[in-house]
Structures are given as C-alpha cells and as structure tokens.
C-alpha cells in the first residue's frame, strides 16, 4: 500500500491497524498479512470505510468470523473491514431472535433449542430471524 494511502486511512478511520496478520482471524489459521484492518463499531463506520477505499481505488473485504475462508500466504493488498463488539449482540423479542453480523453462527445450532426456539433449514418454515435472514 502506498504511504500516501496509509496516511489517509490513518487520518480518516478509527481503529485502523497496518500489516495485520490475518491467520489468527480465520478458522483455518492460515494466510498472510492485510495491508490494513479496520474494526468498525457502527454501521456508519462501515459505510465510511467503504466510501473512502472506493475513492482511493483500494480493494476492500468485509471479514466476518473467518469461517469458510482461505487467505493466501501473500495476504490481502487492501483494507479488511471487521465487525466490532456492538455487532456481537443478540436481541430477542417474542419469537424473533436478531443476531448481529459478528455473532458466531454455531450459536444458531446451540442457542435456539436452549431458549425454546425452533431452527429450520428452510427459512419459510421458521419465524426465527438469525444473522440477518430468516432460517
């Protein structure tokens, strides 16, 4: 990443780090470094980061919990956007369960039976809202 772009990212984004190892952020624990990683705490921080990298012409990638993902040993030549702690919240209202984008999906198999929710592989059969979509 050009030093000029690095400086702009550092000045414009909160919680940005450079040359971050991605292997610890994935299930398989493989892969090189990202040029930059930002941890977004709000939806507007995600939008602002994407707008900025598009203006700069930099590639970006939104990284969830790191499962089902293989990263090259060469790393990622751009900005990786991660979800911060506020995206790990789970809210329940009646039979509706809403989970933030950073909630580990394994909870979809464990938590609903504990809380009395029914989980279906067919979203049309279940009123449970999980990870932004009905299951």
Which among 56, 105, 57, 63 is positioned nearest to 81, based on CA atoms? Answer: 63
Topology of the domain comprising 3-86: 3.30.43
What's the rounded mean pLDDT across residues 43-49?
A: 92
What's the rounded mean pLDDT across residues 108-134?
A: 46
The pLDDT, as a whole number, for residue 124 is 43
The pLDDT, as a whole number, for residue 98 is 75
pLDDT(132) > 50:
no
Cβ–Cβ < 8 Å for 36, 6: yes
Cβ–Cβ < 8 Å for 77, 1: yes
pLDDT(57) > 90:
yes
- Between CA 109 and CA 18 the distance in angstroms is 35
**Domain chopping of the chain, boundaries:** 3-86, 89-134
What's the rounded mean pLDDT across residues 11-18?
A: 95
The pLDDT, as a whole number, for residue 116 is 53
């Amino acid at each position: 990443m050009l030093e000029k772009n690095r400086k702009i990212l550092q000045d414009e984004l909160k919680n940005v780090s450079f040359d971050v190892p991605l292997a610890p952020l994935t299930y398989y624990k493989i892969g090189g470094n990202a040029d930059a990683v930002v941890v977004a705490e709000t939806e507007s921080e995600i939008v602002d980061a994407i707008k900025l990298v598009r203006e700069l012409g930099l590639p970006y990638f939104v990284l969830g919990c790191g499962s089902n993902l293989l990263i090259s040993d060469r790393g990622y030549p751009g900005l990786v956007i991660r979800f911060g702690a506020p995206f790990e919240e789970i809210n329940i209202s009646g039979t509706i369960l809403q989970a933030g984008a950073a909630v580990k999906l394994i909870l979809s198999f464990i938590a609903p039976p504990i809380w009395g929710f029914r989980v279906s592989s067919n979203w049309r059969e279940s009123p449970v809202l999980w990870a932004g979509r009905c299951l």
